[in-house]
Chains A and B, each alone.
Chain A
Amino acid sequence: MNDTADVVVIGGGIVGCATAYNLARLGAGKVVLLERDYLASGATGRCGAGMRMQWGTETNCLLSRESTRMLEQLPELLDVDIDIELKQGGYLLLAYTEKMAAQFKKNLQLQNSLGIPSRWVTPAEAKEIVPHLNTAGLLGATFCAKDGHCNPFKATAAYAKAAERHGVEIRTNSEVTGIEAECCRITGVKTRWGTISTPRVVVAAGGYSKQLGRMVGVELPIYPERHEILVTEPVEPMQDSMVMSFHHNLYCQQSPHGSFIMGIGHPDEPESFNTESSWQFLGEMARRLIEILPPLAGLNVVRQWAGLYDMSPDRQPILGPAGDVEGFHVAAGFSGHGFMIAPITGQIVAEKLLGLKTALPVELLDAGRFARGDLFVEPSVV
């Protein structure tokens, strides 16, 4: 079979789907998307379903601001009839130390200068936003009312549907087993079903991106790190805002469905592809959460799971061409906040690949920044 494509996108998470959609929309020709398992089966479908604009670097602020604008009208933008369950109840970021408060105030200046409507709130004001918040030891918080929740499966399905309408061929159950290159240019992508001849690939495979880069000798500084998460039974709406504490290293939000979704980051989590759940997480999560949000002690946990962050050295993604192999492009290294910035990211990666002017100036996110030492480390990650 003569299997060819103008671009092959590897990865059926929201970034891969959004990239494929934009490539087809902008005239890239025949686009094939390969997914190892099923759509949103990796990091996208395992994430905390949050979206926020309160970041500490200009690029993350810009990417999330534009993506929020797009998510606010995604079904219309993509012309699909899918409810992505957007709920803008805000994000409350808690500050417990002077150092943290100073960093947050610096972040606010940056965010406000870029038009992000975040503000400083006192402990009393924070309690008005989340009435069951324990404010002991709290110095204050930052709040952005436009941050919130969105369903990762639905948002991915929306992009996939729009992509297919623009002619993208989505192939699930199609793990990539090899990428072929000749004389420093991409020539094809192999799966167990056969080889697709293509001059260009986009690697949007999250924590697996490093392995894919190595297939053509491109070393990407991206590594997988397990993050655990749990969900409770649904209850009546009682918490509009996400509550996030870098001090406790946790986040907790109530989804529109009524369930509470929460997770913690573990500072000693080693690099691995492990996505097993641990019993240690349950106890630690519960103890830390009850300290901040005591009434939630009565909620029943129904399920826990884990997923992989695709960590990069500065906790910001790598977007665009990478390495010395012509036609090799990357959209990975999202470090735990890929879902919420996917809409504009997919557009930028497609624009870069096609040599078009990008919607945002994101030169800072090129793959070469690590070798140059141009790192701007994102301080606000759980």
Chain B
Amino acid sequence: MSEQLEDDIIICRCEDIKLSEIRQSIADGNLSTEEIKRSCRCGMGPCQGRTCMPLVAQELAKATGKPLAEISLPTFRQPVAAISLGALAGGERHE
């Protein structure tokens, strides 16, 4: 694949982050998934990085020469699926 095409690949669908932006973030010195996430919002959307973070980890492994197993993924935070404030406010009363 040509480099131009590759750069345009969407890595994070929720926040619309392209592969070129991930590579730029790594070039800027962000050498962990946690730092890349905070630098460009990759993985901060509703899916919480389920799609993009393994791809980001691959890019990091390539860039740093580390085995993929040594690249840790960011903390997965609650809630597991997006939930409305209204549902949360009423939750206990509807048990």
Taking beta carbons and an 8 Å cutoff, which residues of A are in contact with B? 38-41, 45, 153, 157, 231-233, 257, 277, 279, 282-283, 285-287, 289-290, 296-305
Whether B5 is near chain A, meaning CB under 8 Å from some CB there, is no
Known: A279-B78, A300-B83, A302-B46. Contact between A286 and B35, CB under 8 A?
no
Taking beta carbons and an 8 Å cutoff, which residues of B are in contact with A? 32, 34-35, 38-39, 41, 44-46, 48, 77-79, 82-86, 88-89, 91-92
Check if B89 sits within 8 Å of A38, measured CB to CB: no
Determine how close the nearest CB of chain A comes to the CB of B33; give it in whole angstroms: 11
Residues of chain A contacted by B86 (CB below 8 angstroms): 286, 290, 297-298
Known: A298-B86, A299-B85. Contact between A304 and B79, CB under 8 A?
yes
Residues of chain A contacted by B34 (CB below 8 angstroms): 38, 41
Known: A300-B46, A302-B48. Contact between A45 and B38, CB under 8 A?
yes
Check if B82 sits within 8 Å of A283, measured CB to CB: no
> What CA separation (Å) do A289 and B85 show in the bound complex?
9
Determine how close the nearest CB of chain A comes to the CB of B75; give it in whole angstroms: 8
Determine how close the nearest CB of chain B comes to the CB of A306; give it in whole angstroms: 10
Residues of chain A contacted by B44 (CB below 8 angstroms): 231, 302-303
Of all chain A residues, the one with the shortest Cβ separation from B91 is A283
Of all chain A residues, the one with the shortest Cβ separation from B47 is A302
Check if B92 sits within 8 Å of A277, measured CB to CB: no
Determine how close the nearest CB of chain B comes to the CB of A161; give it in whole angstroms: 9
Check if A302 sits within 8 Å of B88, measured CB to CB: no
Determine how close the nearest CB of chain A comes to the CB of B46; give it in whole angstroms: 5
Check if A302 sits within 8 Å of B82, measured CB to CB: yes
Residues of chain A contacted by B48 (CB below 8 angstroms): 302-303
Residues of chain B contacted by A305 (CB below 8 angstroms): 77
Additional pairs, 7, CB under 8 Å, beyond known A153-B39, A301-B85 = A231-B44, A283-B89, A289-B89, A290-B85, A297-B89, A299-B85, A303-B78
Known: A38-B32, A45-B38. Contact between A301 and B88, CB under 8 A?
yes
From B39, B41, B78, B91, A304 is in contact (CB under 8 Å) with B78
Check if B45 sits within 8 Å of A286, measured CB to CB: no
Known: A38-B35, A301-B84. Contact between A286 and B46, CB under 8 A?
no
Determine how close the nearest CB of chain B comes to the CB of A273; give it in whole angstroms: 16
Of all chain B residues, the one with the shortest Cβ separation from A296 is B85
Of all chain A residues, the one with the shortest Cβ separation from B82 is A300
Determine how close the nearest CB of chain B comes to the CB of A304; give it in whole angstroms: 5
Check if A299 sits within 8 Å of B39, measured CB to CB: no
Residues of chain A contacted by B35 (CB below 8 angstroms): 38-39
Residues of chain B contacted by A299 (CB below 8 angstroms): 84-85
> What CA separation (Å) do A256 and B20 show in the bound complex?
23
Residues of chain B contacted by A298 (CB below 8 angstroms): 84-86
Residues of chain A contacted by B38 (CB below 8 angstroms): 40, 45, 153
Determine how close the nearest CB of chain A comes to the CB of B86; give it in whole angstroms: 3
Which 8 A-B pairs have CB atoms at the shortest separation, nearest pair first? Answer: A297-B86, A286-B88, A286-B89, A300-B82, A286-B85, A287-B89, A153-B38, A303-B77
> What CA separation (Å) do A167 and B91 show in the bound complex?
54
Residues of chain B contacted by A233 (CB below 8 angstroms): 45-46, 82
Check if B89 sits within 8 Å of A290, measured CB to CB: yes
> What CA separation (Å) do A277 and B80 show in the bound complex?
13
Residues of chain B contacted by A39 (CB below 8 angstroms): 35
